[in-house]
Structure 1
Amino acid sequence: MSRSLRRGALAAAAIVSSIASLAACAAGNDAQTLEIKPDNAAVSKGEIKVQNALVITQPEREAKGPAVVSATLFNSGIEAQTLESVTLPGGTGTVKLTAAEGSGKITVPAGGSVILGGKGNATAVIENGRESVKDGNQQKVVFEFSKTGAVELGAFVVPATGYFGKFGPSEAPAAGATPSGTPSGTPSGTPSGAASHGATKPSGTPSGGASHSAGH
């Protein structure tokens, strides 16, 4: 083999070796750095990170009622921040914020986090939610913080079924039917029976008394 051919073979072997090394690295520890995004929305701005953002509607597609914005809010800063508002650009729903405890604003502590949605957590309720958003769509949501300002992302709209049920709206249209049924049943049955029983007792007592008196 000539000297030039030998050099060409060595160069080709070096290239193959390099490709094999890169492939091995990609399949090893570096495979986790491919930045495969999860199905739920997340975004970071400054010291604030919004993760697992979703808009959750009523479980039944035809049901009317509020929806909620569910998310986890992280604050990596050294000062607490207040969640001033949550808005849905392009939507018609108004979002009402309620702290987990008390009537104050939702505060994300320094170096801590706050969960929106779920039992015992802060809530962001969308009034007229069913009319404002549609299941399967991606809804733009803007979180306004006291120091960081507006943090925007696109959140998927899903019904409160399965896993999402525990983070969905706590108010359901079916709850309104309970009060209307309870009063109507209670008065109509109880007074009617009591009056009927009372009428029977007096009608029998005088009759028996008169009969006994006459016989005596």
Structure 2
Amino acid sequence: MSRSLRRGALAATAIVFSIAALSACGAGNDAQTLEVRPDNAAVSVDDVKIQNALVITQPEPGVKGPAAVSATVFNNGRVPQTIDAISLPGTTAVVKLKPAEGTGPITVPAGGSVVIGGAGNASALIENGSEAARDGDAQQVVFKLSKTGDVGLSAFVVPAKSYFKEYGPEVVPAPPGASPTASASPSGEAEHGTEAPASGEPTTAGH
């Protein structure tokens, strides 16, 4: 085998090995927490680890509306921390944080984690998301924690489709003349604004 062919074969082997290693790292228990595809952005600073960070935009290109930051934040320390803010440097984006329950900052318990994005989880809504990020880009995202401080990383920007649909913006703009709809209906409510009957109750017409 010539020297040039040998170098090419070694390079190809290295690329395959790198992809396999990334997949193996992303396929652990942490990846299952967010239930999205592995190999997304991750970073560790002191006791804090942020994994599967994404900026999720509207499902259709060119549609103006909010976007969302989705991630899993781990706290390996002995005291809880709060996520006081999330920012997108280089943009005018305003990120509105909301805990899974109640009001106030998002708390990451000591020795635990919190999921941002998805039904029943905390949320980080980018109000002017259509102006902040474009699909296919890598957007810098900074998480400001109460004790660790700023933790930044580059997150992939993806549309709210396929694996990312359930973690996308809370509100998806409707076609002209229709009302905006939530990306996911609350449990127990049917679509089109009608209430679902209680479990076990008949639905006979005329009653």
Range class of TM-score, shorter chain: 0.5 to 0.7
Instruction: State the match for 1:174 in structure 2.
Output: 174
Instruction: State the match for 2:91 in structure 1.
Output: 91
Opposite residue 69 of structure 1, the aligned amino acid is: V
Opposite residue 143 of structure 1, the aligned amino acid is: F
| In the alignment, structure 1 residue 134 sits paired with structure 2 residue 153 | no
Unaligned regions of 5+ residues in structure 2, if any?
1-16, 27-38, 181-207
| Partner SS for 1:143 | strand
1:106-125 correspondence to structure 2 within 5 Å: 106-125=106-125
1:1-216 correspondence to structure 2 within 5 Å: 36=22, 39-174=39-174, 177-179=177-179
Unaligned regions of 5+ residues in structure 1, if any?
1-30, 181-216
Provide the C-alpha distance between the structure 2 equivalents of 1:178 and 1:90, rounded to a whole number of angstroms: 34
Opposite residue 162 of structure 2, the aligned amino acid is: G
Q: CA RMSD in A?
A: 2.1
Q: How far did 1:128 drift?
A: 1.0
Cα displacement string for residues 92-143 of structure 1 (whole angstroms, at most 9, x for unaligned residues): 2100000110112100000000000000100011111011110000000000
Q: How far did 1:174 drift?
A: 0.9
Provide the C-alpha distance between the structure 1 equivalents of 2:138 and 2:47, rounded to a whole number of angstroms: 25
- Gap change, CA 1:48 and 1:165, over 3 Å in 2: same
Say which structure is richer in helix. Answer: 1
Q: How far did 1:147 drift?
A: 0.3
| Partner SS for 1:164 | helix
Opposite residue 54 of structure 2, the aligned amino acid is: L
Q: Is the 8 A contact 2:57 2:68 kept in 1?
A: yes
Q: Is the 8 A contact 2:125 2:170 kept in 1?
A: no
Provide the C-alpha distance between the structure 2 equivalents of 1:177 and 1:137, rounded to a whole number of angstroms: 32
Q: Is the 8 A contact 2:91 2:132 kept in 1?
A: yes
Opposite residue 149 of structure 2, the aligned amino acid is: G
| Partner SS for 1:61 | coil
Provide the C-alpha distance between the structure 1 equivalents of 2:176 and 2:78, rounded to a whole number of angstroms: 45
Provide the C-alpha distance between the structure 1 equivalents of 2:82 and 2:175, rounded to a whole number of angstroms: 32
Q: How far did 1:178 drift?
A: 3.8
- Gap change, CA 1:160 and 1:146, over 3 Å in 2: same
- Gap change, CA 1:75 and 1:166, over 3 Å in 2: same
| Partner SS for 1:163 | helix
How many residues align? The count is: 149
Provide the C-alpha distance between the structure 1 equivalents of 2:175 and 2:72, rounded to a whole number of angstroms: 28
Q: How far did 1:176 drift?
A: 8.1
- TM-score, with normalisation over the residues of structure 1? 0.65
